[in-house]
Amino acid sequence: MPQELDLLIRAGRVHGHDGLVDVHIRNGLVVAVQPTLPVPAGDGHAGDGHATAAPAEAREVLDAGGGLVSRSFTEPHYHPDKAYSRRLAPEGMADGFARARAIKAGFTVPDVTERALRALRLASANGVTALRANVDVDSVSGLTGLHGVLAARERVAHLLDVQIVAFPQEGLLRDPLARPLLVEALRSGAGLVGGWPNVEEGAEAQRAHVREVFDLAERFGTDVDIHLDCEIDATQTMLEFTAAETVRRGYQGRVVASHCCSLEVYDDADAARVIAAVAEADVRVVVVPLNLVDGGPRGLSRPRQLAEAGVVVAAGSDNLNDGWYALGTLDPMDRARTAFLGAGYHDEGALDTAWDLVCGQAAAAIGGRPGDIAVGEDADLVVFDVPDRATALAGVPGRRVTLRRGRVVGRRDTTGTTAYGPIGLTAALSGTGTPGGTGPGRPAQEKASA
């Protein structure tokens, strides 16, 4: 007799599969994806357009009603210590760097914890189950941000995995007190070394910054996640130097470079040379399609050309309502849609490419696997009440459910009604997916919401 499933997602649409399918979940893993069987004649439900029969026994059933079922999303580049901190900015301070510094000078551990919790829960409700967090470690805020985000990470461990990068935003040579603080951060729970060489004065100081980041990474056996060339300025060239240093240190596949905006304004010959170096070094690139600096957008770093060269390319959010950026949603659909428009994707499969920037490629960028739903993998999933990726990316108001290892942990609803809203998913979202209102739409632990 077949073993009972923990959860059956019934009558969904999974990319790469024809027609409606059922997703079978047991012990937190996807154990099968099979075609949905029709209801036998005389069942009483036939003819409603969504009636199905479960091919296996399950303790809980979530009726997708023809909605899209996707692998969950990854946020590869975000600063949760700064989340929702813009209210702390002094009035009349126009310079973004000075504004961000003034804000974080007032951080406290409880304040950082609560703001980071709010952001991480929002990410979960939007379908994110893995997130890489850059946390400032410097002479301005010390380890306050780190301790606050560590506390928040512990409280959302059932919602999503959070990797923490110790990020010396003020520099290393320019802010020498950051050096011992980085060491302490790596001993206290940070798992990666970050950097931002372009804040240093002069090319040699910038190269020294990169080398010191790698020195620390080698000392602690960690990977590198480094901000590079964050302005639309062709004189910024640290991406190429970092790629060369990656090869010299034998760190291929262990470096993430974020922003890389100057690449967009290099002439084509220079850009081709740098992209080839990045591909050879297997440096992963995270573009930031939503983020601005004072005076305008930062650019998109030639994601199409990078991907064509074999580089893993993902899209991150960077900031949310803080000293750098007043807006932000932590919604993967927003950053994928903006990248789709900004990069001019137009070839066959362009929508899937945009989706992958926040899904499989985003996961691969920070050490996970590429691809979509796979049998034998964690049942970290998102169920939409729209039928396909194009409709989800278009931003049509609707609902979605986030599953973490086969348990519903997050929900979002941007409209009271929707043309695509199936009854089964609506019931799940309202917590009435099974008799008594204890179905899969009701999170098992902590409700994930904004």
Give per-residue pLDDT as tens, 23-41.
999 999 999 999 998 865 5
The confidence score (pLDDT) of residue 91 equals 82
Q: Which has the closest alpha carbon to 312: 150, 76, 59?
A: 76
Contact criterion met (CB below 8 Å) for 369 and 396:
no
List of residues 6+ apart from 401 with CB closer than 8 A: 62, 382, 383, 408, 410, 411, 425, 428, 429, 440, 441
Question: In the chain, what percentage of residues exceed pLDDT 90?
Answer: 75
Flag whether the pTM goes above 0.75: yes
Per-state percent for the chain, helix, strand, coil, to nearest 5: 35, 25, 45
Q: Indicate the range of 79-83, 101-105, 168-172, 291-295 predicted with least confidence.
A: 291-295
In total, the chain counts a number of residues equal to: 450
DSSP, collapsed to helix, strand or coil, labels residue 33 as strand
**Residue 429's pLDDT band (cuts 50, 70, 90):** very low
> CA angle, 144 as apex, 140 and 148 as ends, to 5°?
145
Residue 48: is its pLDDT beyond 50? Answer: no
Question: Which of the pair, 327 or 373, is modelled with greater confidence?
Answer: 373
Q: Indicate the range of 53-62, 188-197, 255-264 predicted with least confidence.
A: 53-62
Beta bridge partners of residue 33, listed in sequence order: 23
Mean pLDDT of the chain: 88
Nearest-angstrom CA–CA distance, 203 and 212: 14
Helical pair 178-188 and 144-155, crossing angle rounded to 10 deg: 20
**Residue 396's pLDDT band (cuts 50, 70, 90):** confident
Residue 369: is its pLDDT beyond 70? Answer: yes
Tokens standing for residue 285: 């690139």
Beta bridge partners of residue 313, listed in sequence order: 285
Q: What residue ranges define each of the domains in the chain, with the CATH number in brackets?
A: 5-70+380-437 (2.30.40.10), 73-365 (3.20.20.140)
- The beta strands (E) that lie in 232-301 are given as 255-259, 284-287, 292-293, 296-297
Mean pLDDT within 74-96: 90
Tokens standing for residue 400: 């979605």
The confidence score (pLDDT) of residue 294 equals 58
The confidence score (pLDDT) of residue 297 equals 63
